Amino acid sequence: MRTYGLADELPDTSSLGSVWDLIRVLVVLGLIIGLIVLVLRFLAKRNRGWGMNRSLRSLGGYPLGTNKSMQIVEWNGRIYVLGVGENITLLESITDQELVDALLAEHEAGMTNMGPALPDWLRKWTERNKPQSEDLASTTAGADSSFEKSLENRLRELSERRQKAEQLLEDNRSEDRTDER
């Protein structure tokens, strides 16, 4: 193949070109990943806004086994804890408006602080130069655990109330039976 003397005049740029190509590919990949994260955040905020207009809203769930879970939903200003499996069973309902408002406010605060779930290695890499992000992460974890603790305490109180009510009903039934004799 003839080069007509041009190959002698050009410097060898094959290794330099491949390094720049690699850097360019990594920068473009980083931009694409950044755009994906921004789109996910936008969609998460948009979907949360649509959920506000509905009367039934899912606050979360916890898987308990195959095709079985516990779901927490808000409906008409009340919070319901449902057991979902082959059948749907009402486990507890929270109707005290002050407590419902407090739990929903804690849930909303936890949701606003959460972005899309990132892998641990990526979160550590992005937060390594941000000292205040650790405070934000601990605050978010505190808000989530606070909501969980509040809900757990309230469910425990409701369970105790239900047991006391059942105890009183049993006592009334036994008194009614002794009065008939």
pTM score, whole prediction: 0.39
* H or E element in which residue 76 lies: none
Which pLDDT score, from 0 to 100, does residue 177 have? 65
Domain boundaries defined on the chain: 1-53, 55-95, 96-181
Task: List average pLDDT for each run of 10 residues in the chain, which is 181 residues long.
Answer: 55 71 94 94 72 70 88 86 90 86 81 62 67 51 68 83 86 69 53
Cα separations (Å) of 103 from 47, 129, 148, 152, 176?
20, 34, 9, 11, 41
Cβ neighbourhood burial of 107 (10 Å; 0-12, 13-18, 19+): buried
Which pLDDT score, from 0 to 100, does residue 133 have? 44
Q: Are 94 and 79 in contact (CB under 8 A)?
A: yes
Task: Extract the tokens encoding 21.
Answer: 């190509």
